[in-house]
């Protein structure tokens, strides 16, 4: 196996064997989320030279971007295999002239051109591992079974869209949190500057209280602040309650005869 600089190494996350009208094709999902299919198997099914076809793919800029090499499980063990991204299969096949193949192979080439990419994609999206000659015709009959199948497909598509939407919403929320953090105000807890002001206010109250009691009052003041605002640390104070907390500490400081500002 001879790789070129343009052939990208892929890590397979899932592999499936697909029966395409009697020809077995191995498809794999790469770590990039794309679906790929063995080039050698397709070429063998069509009776064309796989080495020559790979060279032709590499000369075509769009096709060359979809060539990869990955390790696939085969009857002979795990082997490095050249693969092509399935959405590019029709483009590759369009370059094979039907007149260049035998009369026996020509119908198969036309089926590959029409359906291979769709069937291979469905193997991962809908679990369909075979290409049935009469399946589309059966669906067109609009029987109760066909209606149930179409409804199930619609439900699956709806669920898929909802999953994608939820993921996008979660991603947007995460990005918003990141932006808010970069701006220095999460909108949830106090900023570092506000936390510093709280700390100074607590220190002033604790010192004023200590003068009256003769004890270290830092723990008591922090404890009262935490109890009143339902937090476990002054940095956990909601930003919306910052002014309220500062007023609480200011009033307490004034009651102790402290001088303002802190």
Is 91:29 a contact under the CB 8 Å cutoff?
no
Q: Are 85 and 34 in contact (CB under 8 A)?
A: yes
Per the structure block, which two tokens stand in for 170?
């979660």
Q: Which whole number is the average pLDDT over 173-197?
A: 72
| Residue given tokens 């699956």 in the structure block | 156
Q: Please report the pLDDT score of residue 199 as a whole number.
A: 92
Average the pLDDT over 251-258 and give the result: 85
Q: What is the pTM of this model?
A: 0.47
Phi–psi pair at 143, nearest 5 degrees: -75, 170
Q: How many CB atoms lie within 10 A of CB 201?
A: 22
Kind of pairing between the strands at 8-9 and 12-20: unpaired
The tokens for 229 are 């605002």
Confidence of residue 220 (pLDDT cuts 50, 70, 90): very high
CA distance 143 to 207: 84
| Average confidence score pLDDT of the chain | 82
Of 22-26, 190-194, 223-227, least confident by mean pLDDT is 22-26
Average pLDDT over residues 257-261: 64
pLDDT band at 133 (very low <50, low <70, confident <90, very high): very low
What number of other Cβ atoms are within 10 A of residue 39's Cβ?
Answer: 21
Question: Could you identify the residue written with the tokens 């936390």?
Answer: 195
pLDDT, mean of residues 116-124: 75
Task: Kindly report the backbone phi and psi dihedral angles of residue 228, in degrees, each rounded to the nearest multiple of 5, phi listed first.
Answer: -65, -35
pLDDT value of residue 244: 94
pLDDT tens sequence across 33-50: 888 999 999 899 888 888
């Amino acid at each position: 196996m001879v790789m070129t600089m343009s052939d990208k190494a892929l890590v397979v996350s899932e592999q499936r064997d697909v029966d395409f009208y009697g020809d077995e094709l191995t498809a794999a999902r790469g770590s990039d989320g794309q679906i790929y299919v063995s080039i050698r198997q397709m070429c063998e099914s069509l009776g064309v030279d796989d080495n020559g076809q790979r060279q032709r793919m590499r000369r075509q800029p769009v096709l060359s971007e979809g060539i990869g090499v990955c390790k696939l499980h085969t009857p002979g063990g795990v082997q490095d295999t050249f693969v092509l991204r399935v959405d590019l299969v029709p483009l590759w096949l369009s370059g094979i002239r039907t007149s260049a193949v035998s009369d026996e192979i020509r119908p198969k080439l036309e089926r590959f051109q029409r359906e291979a990419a769709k069937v291979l994609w469905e193997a991962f999206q809908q679990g369909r591992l075979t290409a049935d000659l009469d399946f589309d015709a059966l669906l067109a009959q609009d029987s109760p079974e066909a209606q149930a199948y179409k409804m199930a497909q619609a439900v699956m598509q709806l669920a898929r869209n909802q999953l994608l939407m939820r993921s996008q919403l979660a991603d947007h929320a995460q990005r918003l949190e990141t932006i808010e953090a970069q701006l220095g105000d999460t909108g949830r807890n106090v900023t570092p500057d506000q936390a510093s002001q709280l700390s100074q206010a607590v220190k002033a109250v604790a010192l004023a209280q200590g003068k009256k009691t003769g004890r270290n009052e830092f723990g008591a003041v922090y404890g009262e602040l935490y109890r009143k605002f339902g937090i476990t640390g002054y940095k956990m104070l909601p930003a919306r309650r910052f002014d309220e907390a500062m007023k609480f500490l200011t009033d307490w400081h004034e009651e102790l005869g402290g001088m303002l500002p802190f």
